[in-house]
């Protein structure tokens, strides 16, 4: 099971994410939700507007797998990609994270992090970035 | 689809007053991939180009499903744009006369095939600066449509 670190949770909560969705045949639609809530170790919850929910409703019905890229300044500071299975219930989108990747440009781009013990991921973060989360 | 002046003016690297974007591609069976990109520019009025430096899954996806969405991530400043259309990577070695929806491969590579030399990321803080830049090609998206990602009007057609 993928486990989000405190740093990942902090950036996602404060800035939300670009949520990549697609039809089963691979036609993409991306929405942007500017904040999120975290439940437990690996669930990210987004409150969608009615327009956002309507925009991805059909995709979610046929293909619940989504990709998340942190929004705003987090797109620079929090170089992660999260993938997982989503469920749209009303205007609430719950994503169970199953894969976590480093997207830091360089030799570690696309490095899969969720296969590591969480203490190793934290150590990785501490040696790669100066911050431990977004500014207060 | 021609982009407007505001879009053309914003589609450049953040160090030159532009934006960071996310590029979403997906596999042919619909698994999305959404990654941040900082080396971005408009190419003419109908294409957006991104340096292919560290694109791993993006390359695999575009080889089997050549379509993408580019969304403005930072700084937004009212630019709630999502650009969608056919997308491929024009690799070094491509026939210079190859035409991708009106973009000639030789011209794309000549202008944007060595981004690090043209626009080195000198403003990027050390902890997020790429240690080395090796460009394999240019991700090129032909803008077929632009929709708004602004939360309360998400999906509204802009162009």
Show the 3-state SS of B87-113: EEEEECCCCCCCEECCEEHHHHHHHHC
B151 reaches A (C-beta below 8 A)? yes
Q: Does B25 touch chain A (CB under 8 A)?
A: yes
Q: Choose among A25, A66, A76: nearest Cβ to B32.
A: A66
- Interatomic CA distance for residues A109 and A56, integer angstroms: 28
Q: How far is it, in rounded angstroms, from Cα A102 to Cα B83?
A: 25
Neighbours of A107 (CB within 10 A): 12
Query: Could you tell me which of B59, B71, B139, B51 has the C-alpha nearest to residue B100?
Result: B139
Mean pLDDT of B8-27: 97
Percentage of chain A beyond pLDDT 90 is: 95
Contact A35/B at CB under 8 A = no
Complex confidence, ipTM: 0.97
Average pLDDT over residues B12-28: 96
| Phi, psi angle pair for B68, to nearest 5° | -150, 170
Closest residue in B to A78 (Cα) is B128
A54/B contact by beta carbon, under 8 A? yes
Size of interface A-B (CB pairs under 8 A): 146
Considering only CB atoms, A18 lies closest to which of B56, B73, B130, namely: B73
Q: How far apart are CA B62 and CA A65, in angstroms?
A: 18
Nearest Cα neighbor of A101 from B31, B138, B65 is B31
Across the interface, whether the CB atoms of B22 and A18 are under 8 A apart is answered yes
Task: Give the C-alpha separation, B58 to B56, whole Å.
Answer: 5
Q: Which of A21, A107, A102 is nearest to B71 (CA)?
A: A21
End-to-end CA distance of chain B: 7
**Interface contact B34, partner A, CB < 8 A:** yes
Chain B contact for A130 (CB, 8 A cutoff)? yes
What's the distance, CA A42 to chain centroid?
Answer: 10
The whole-angstrom distance between B84's CA and the closest CA on chain A is 8
Percent of chain B with pLDDT over 90: 88
Instruction: Sort out which chain B residues have CB atoms less than 8 A from A83's CB and list them.
Output: 31-33
Instruction: Give the pLDDT confidence score for residue B134 in this predicted structure.
Output: 87
Rounded to 10°, the helix A118-128/A6-15 angle is 70
B93 interfaces chain A, CB cutoff of 8 Å:
no
Does residue B1 contact residue B85 with C-beta atoms inside 8 Å? yes
Q: Are A86 and A64 in contact (CB under 8 A)?
A: yes
| Cα torsion B49, B52, B54, B59: sign | positive
**Pairwise CB contact (< 8 Å): B33 & A109:** no
pLDDT digits (tens, 9 = 90+) for A25-67: 999 999 999 999 999 999 999 999 999 999 999 999 999 999 9
Q: What is the pLDDT of residue A54?
A: 98
Backbone angles phi, psi at A80, to 5 degrees: -130, 155
């Amino acid at each position: 099971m993928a486990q989000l670190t405190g740093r990942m949770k902090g950036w996602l909560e404060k800035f939300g994410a670009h949520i990549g969705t697609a039809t089963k045949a691979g036609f993409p639609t991306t929405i942007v939700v500017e904040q999120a809530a975290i439940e437990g170790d690996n669930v990210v919850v987004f409150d969608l507007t009615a327009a956002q929910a309507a925009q991805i409703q059909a995709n979610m019905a046929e293909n619940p797998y989504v990709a998340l890229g942190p929004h705003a300044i987090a797109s620079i500071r929090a170089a992660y990609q999260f993938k997982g299975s989503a469920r749209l219930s009303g205007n609430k989108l719950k994503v169970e994270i199953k894969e976590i990747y480093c997207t830091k440009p360089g030799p570690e781009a696309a490095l899969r992090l969720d296969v590591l013990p969480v203490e190793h991921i934290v150590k990785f973060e501490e040696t790669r970035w100066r911050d431990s989360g977004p500014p207060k | 689809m021609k982009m407007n002046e505001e879009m053309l003016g914003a589609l450049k690297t953040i160090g030159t007053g532009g934006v960071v974007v996310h590029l979403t591609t997906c596999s042919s069976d619909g698994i999305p991939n959404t990654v941040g990109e900082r080396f971005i520019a408009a190419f003419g009025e109908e294409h957006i180009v991104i340096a292919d430096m560290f694109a791993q899954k993006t390359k695999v996806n575009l080889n089997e499903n050549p379509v993408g969405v580019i969304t403005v991530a930072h700084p937004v400043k009212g630019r709630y744009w999502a650009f969608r259309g056919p997308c491929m990577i024009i690799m070094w070695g491509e026939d210079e006369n190859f035409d991708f929806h009106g973009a000639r491969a030789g011209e794309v590579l000549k202008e944007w095939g060595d981004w690090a030399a043209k626009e080195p990321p000198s403003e990027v803080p050390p902890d997020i600066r790429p240690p080395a830049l090796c460009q394999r090609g240019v991700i090129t998206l032909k803008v077929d449509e632009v929709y708004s990602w602004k939360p309360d009007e998400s999906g509204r057609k802009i162009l």
